[in-house]
Amino acid sequence: MRKIEYPAQADWQELVKRPTQNFEDLEAGIAQTFRLVQKQGDAALLELTQKYDGVKLDSLFASQEEIAAAESELSPELKEAILQAYSNIQLFHAQQAEQPKHVETMPGVTCWRKSVAIDRVGLYIPGGTAPLFSTLLMLGVPARLAGCKEIILCTPPSKSGSIHPAIRYTASLLGIDKIAKVGGAQAVAAMAFGTESIPAVNKIFGPGNQYVTVAKQMLSKTGVAIDLPAGPSEVLVMADDSANPAFVAADLLSQAEHGADSQVVLLTTSAEMLKRVEQELQVQLSNLPRKEFAAKALENSLGILLSNVEEMLRFSNLYAPEHLILSIQNFEEVLDKITNAGSVFLGNYSPESAGDYASGTNHTLPTNGYARAYSGVSLDSFVKKITFQHITPAGLQNIGKAIEVMAAAEGLEAHKNAVSIRLKEVQNV
């Protein structure tokens, strides 16, 4: 971790830049994958799965027997944990449902908005070095609550051609009975364009490796909707003397272990805290199974000493972290000053891992500074908002003149006439 003491504010803009990634070199190969899937459909998916995942599949889909067998393949502890997380995520997201509110903007003019589920959504769940069944909960629960008619699940198979049992069990829990054994850019292409077996979806959700990330970004330029701009995982921790350095180090490493391209940032007002966190990082790092990933991520990470909490808040808002942890005294007093963050964790006993798994909030969040403008996935991500209005004859008489005047001022005579022709009829009744 690179240590920086009291940087000048003029240098902050440079410090908040993420490690640069050049994905342009991947685009030509992904475009070729897109063309192959569009042309050959399921045959292309089988071919590319054999090429990239090293497995020759007899079927693109997990059988009903495989899905049913998942429950017996998991430990009772893991099943109980998944059920607890499922319950909390469902409870939190269910409260996000919005009921239509009819508003009479003036007598005879009534407007309202209704949430309507996206018909068909595609969920991509990584299954390589870390099979993210937790992400399936985060996406599948709000999709079901929203009322999406069809949920397509794609996840890469193991070398044996199987899907991790936790993913199969979670899918079954969510009522998803169609699991495509396909990963990478080819899975994204299948959900975007459709094949003989996988229907084209209206919106694609889920994280993935650099090929999945670039594939989704390329599709967003063609009109296929995606959940949000995604990149390597990140966390920013604000810590003062009240923080526990072991806790802080654990939180930093929890994101660093995602991958070598992840970034973690520590802001502190205490030189002693910075020193002790650095020591804890080395102690805890040595015991991690994924220490190679975490160590590489720490090379791109920052430990910054600042003068006070106000400076830490300003830096954090400029950085706009995916995850923000406030390990500071009196955090309640500064919550209104947080303007840019994906998800916020308060106090010494709110680890970022809680949001990743089981507290109830969604862990699919904007990275790379996109929290300045984007929200994380929620129930709203799976619905469209449609507005309605009803105008009575009396209402048209009340609002008609304003419309006519505005339309005429813009030189749009047909717009004006659409009102005028009705007003004449109303006035003649």
Q: Which two tokens stand for residue 299?
A: 């090379």
- b/e string for 208-240 if b means 16 or more Cβ within 10 A? bbbbbbbbbbbbeeeebbbbbbbbbbbbbbbbb
Q: Which of 322, 332, 390, 404 is an active site residue?
A: 322
Strand partners, 204: 122, 226
Please enumerate in sequence order all residues whose Cβ is within 8 A of that of 27, keeping only pairs 6 or more positions apart, or say none: 214, 218
323 in catalytic set: yes
Q: Note the helical H segments in 114-164.
A: 133-146
CB 330 within 8 A of CB 344: no
In angstroms, what CA-CA distances link 416 with 82, 108, 136, 409? 58, 19, 51, 10
Q: Is 410 annotated as a binding residue?
A: yes
Query: Is 415 one of the annotated binding-site residues?
Result: yes
Q: In the chain, how many H helices and how many E strands?
A: 16, 14
Instruction: Tell me whether residue 255 is annotated as binding.
Output: yes
Annotated binding residue at 5?
no
Do the annotations mark residue 186 as ligand-binding? Answer: yes
Query: Do 199 and 120 meet the contact criterion of CB atoms below 8 Å apart?
Result: yes
Q: Are 107 and 395 in contact (CB under 8 A)?
A: yes
User: How far apart (Å, rounded) are the C-alpha atoms in residues 389 and 281?
Assistant: 58
CA 217, chain centre distance (Å): 14
Does the annotation place 258 within a ligand binding site?
yes
- Catalytic residue, from 93, 164, 323, 363: name it: 323
User: Is 233 annotated among the ligand-binding residues?
Assistant: yes
Q: Which H or E run contains 384?
A: strand 383-391
Q: Nearest 5 degrees, angle CA 257-CA 259-CA 262?
A: 90
Can 14 be counted among the known catalytic residues?
A: no
Would you give the DSSP letter of residue 333? G
Task: Give catalytic residues, as residue numbers.
Answer: 322-323
* Annotated binding residues for substrate: 233, 255, 258, 323, 356, 410, 415
* Annotated binding residues for Zn(2+): 255, 258, 356, 415
* Annotated binding residues for NAD(+): 124, 186, 209
* Annotated binding residues: 124, 186, 209, 233, 255, 258, 323, 356, 410, 415
